[in-house]
Amino acid sequence: MSKVKISLDAMGGDNAPRVVVKGALMALDDPDVEIFLVGKVEQLEKELKELTTDYDKSRLKLIDAKDIVEMAEKPTDALRKKESSLYIAANLVKKGDADALVSAGNTGAVLAIAMFVIGRIKGIERPAIATPLPSTNGFAVLIDSGANAIVKPHHYLDFAKMGTFYAQLLGKANPTVGLLNIGEEEEKGTDDLREAHSLLKNTLKDQFFGNVQGRDINNGVVDVVVTDGFTGNVVLKSLEGAAKFITTVIKKGVYKNGIFAKLGALMMKKVFDELRNKLDYRNYGGAFLLGVNGVTVIAHGSSDELAIKNAVNVAVKGVRMKIVDKIKESVENS
């Protein structure tokens, strides 16, 4: 297999660059991966030195970038920082030196720079973040889960097409699509949602399930849940918070209820491991920014090294699956 080259923004994320360097080293476990680690080289070298001397230097290359995009920086300001690690990392993909961009940095900035530097796929007006979430039916893709706070009715159709395609890549044969709304009836929600509903219905025909509600994300009713990036982001983070809250309540309960409950928890270890596995966002690693003309993976701002490693793995998968070419084909044929 030919090597997959990943351009990794070493300075993006709440715990950068330390965890990004660690994650990059972990990602080298896959012998077919090559990583461009983009950031302040002096700092990266120092981190690397403290961590290990024993890694394949031919597959981990340091690329210098003098500047950093801060986590709270406005996208418009970030776009002007042409010497930032994010900008330079994106440029490697644009020039064809790397196959995919991975960043745990400022989402708005990643979106803006990916769109501006790498560009959009022709026919897709608004790239969107697609996040697979666990459901009783395996998973459901939530799209847009954070790229576009305001969308127009016809954007929902783009999201539906890209989400469908992504669900297919992940193994669903005939993905069904639901429009996230406050009720199942066709006339629910805002004017924009009613227009989106009729557009999805007329275009996707049987593939369109209709409106779905918040509770349907996890319950396996549909394979793709389409929504605007504001609602998607809030829902995604709410679900993350709920999972954390529930595991905390269980842990505290076990601690409080003495040796008997502790032993019980031990005996249920397998069950809890499986649950953690299903809920832990780090296992998903990163989400594809679909619609950009190059594989782009956005990792969680609070990513640790495991999440970074998994985000690189997601990007590698996207490259191998030719996700960008295939979205192009599917847009051209529709």
- The mark string for 206-245 relative to a copy of itself (x by CB under 8 A, - otherwise) is -------xxxxxxx-------x-xxx-xxxxxxxxxxxxx
288 touches 166 (CB < 8 A)? yes
Per-residue mark of binding to a copy of itself, 156-185 (x: CB under 8 A)? ------------------------xxxxxx
The candidate with the shortest Cα–Cα distance to 323, out of 144, 117, 121, 140, is 121
Q: Which residues pair with 131 in a beta bridge?
A: 142
Q: List the x/- string, 97-136, binding to a copy of itself by CB under 8 A.
A: -------------------------------------xxx
Residue with smaller CB distance to a copy of itself, 103 or 181: 181
Two structure tokens written together for 22? 């660690």
Cβ neighbourhood burial of 259 (10 Å; 0-12, 13-18, 19+): exposed
What binding mask, one character per residue, do residues 69-88 give for a copy of itself by CB under 8 A, x or -?
A: ---x-x--------------
Distance CA 90, CA 100 (A): 8
Positions in 260-299 near a copy of itself (CB under 8 A): 260-261, 263-268, 270-272, 274-275, 278-279
Measure the CA–CA gap between 159 and 138, rounded to whole angstroms. Answer: 20
Give least dist CB 123 to a copy of itself, A: 26
Burial of 261 (C-beta count, 10 Å sphere; 0-12/13-18/19+):
middle
Give min distance, CB of 260 to a copy of itself, in A: 5
Query: Beta 177-180 vs 224-226: how paired, if at all?
Result: parallel
* Site of interaction with a copy of itself (CB under 8 A): 72, 74, 134-136, 146, 149-150, 180-185, 187, 189-190, 213-219, 227, 229-231, 233-246, 248-250, 253-254, 257, 260-261, 263-268, 270-272, 274-275, 278-279
